[in-house]
Structure 1
Amino acid sequence: MNNYVWNKNEMFLFRATLAFAMRTHSDGLEYDVANVVVCGETARVSFWFVVTSPLNATQLVDKRRVEEAVRKSRGRINSAFLLSDETLEFIGILPTLQAPAVPATAPWLIAFGVVMGAVCASIVVVLVSSVLQKKRKNKQKHDGEEKTVENEAAGDGVYNMSFSDEEPATQM
């Protein structure tokens, strides 16, 4: 098994990221790398650390404040080492759950847009169909008037009749 080699440069980066986290999530105090004291290092990259006050190097920062700073900067710390919460573990400090992804458009707005689109499309269909129906009715009425005029022209008093001179034969 190839273990990751943790050297002094990685330790400096770790201490610097913790100092950054403390600066970012504290009362405006300027923490430095010297304020992060690492102890009990092992070959498997396991150690414990404490953070000292920038005002008094003999006074330790409250554990809750350090935990809060680590929890809030967890993504930054993991990113510095290209690790995740599964691979970089702070024992006793639970990871902060990521905030749920907020979509660019609110879901209710999407549903509203779909419903309004369907309503508008329905209105357009009803209007277009009524206009077309009215045109058909006018066309049928106009065609009916032309047929009536043709029928009236055919009934001008001229009748076609045929006569024959032969009498019908009777059968016996």
Structure 2
Amino acid sequence: MSERLALLLLLCLAPALAQPPCETGPASRGYEVRLSIKTALGDKAYTWNDNEMFLFRATLAFSMRTYYNSDQYNVSSVLVCGETPRVSFWFVVVSHDDPTQLVVKTEVERAVRMSRHRINSAFLLTDRTLEFLGILPTLAAPVVPDTPPWLIVFGVVIGLVGAGIVLLLLSSMHQRRRKKKGPPEDEVVENGIAQESLDGVRNRAFTDDERFTAM
């Protein structure tokens, strides 16, 4: 009788023992996901439902297939738990070789990072509005401008040098024109008065006036 009871208990517990746990909290072997759909899309925000969850699990299965280059991962490979109305939940991925075992967290992390842009695109979100807590977002490739920065700096320097040369040429041309025209009238008058003042009293011994030269 006791053997039959033990066998019955074993048969009842077998499915539960075979199912890998999907736990929430710090002790979980999975990852928490948070979605900010309203923040990202505003009035165009869609409602999170079972279909959206199915899409999430499918994108995670796609990520695992891409990472391992294997077609053995399916939607059933992604287990979800702890879902909240504010669209947050936890997930784990079971091994395709042994469904009773979980895929190592580091492998799941690498798979998510590899396909992060595809996951974001599926939900019209970004790294900030679709968060995998504990998985750093993939850094976006730096934006390469059409014109290299060094070429822009070179153009500015050449422009300043060219402007300086033009100003020097205009200044020299202006000075040449002034020399050809002669000094201004005011300057001529002032120079004449100055010359007379410098002459002072003339030496009448060398004058041409006959009054002073006649014996």
Mapped to 1, the partners of 2:62 and 2:172 lie a distance apart of: 71
Q: Which residue of 1 aligns with 2:160?
A: 118
Q: Which residue of 1 aligns with 2:83?
A: 42
Q: Which residue of 2 aligns with 1:22?
A: 64
Q: TM-score, normalised by structure 2?
A: 0.48
Backbone CA RMSD of aligned residues? 3.4
Larger helix fraction of residues? 2
The reply to whether residue 78 of structure 1 matches residue 120 of structure 2 is yes
Letter of the 1:33 counterpart: N
Count the aligned residue pairs. Answer: 135
Identity of aligned pairs, percent?
57
**Deviation at 1:114?**
1.1
Q: Deviations over 1:77-112 (max 9, x none)?
A: 233223344443323223334445444333333222
Match of 1:68 among 77, 89, 110: 110
Q: Which residue of 2 aligns with 1:140?
A: 181
Q: Which runs of 5+ in 1 are unaligned?
A: 142-172
Q: Which residue of 1 aligns with 2:131?
A: 89
**Deviation at 1:41?**
5.0
Letter of the 1:50 counterpart: V
Q: Which residue of 1 aligns with 2:199?
A: none
SS in 2 for 1:21: helix
Letter of the 1:92 counterpart: G
**Deviation at 1:36?**
3.3
Q: Which has the higher contact order (CA 8 A, sep 6+)?
A: 2
User: In 1, are the aligned partners of 2:60 and 2:78 still within 8 Å (CA)?
Assistant: no
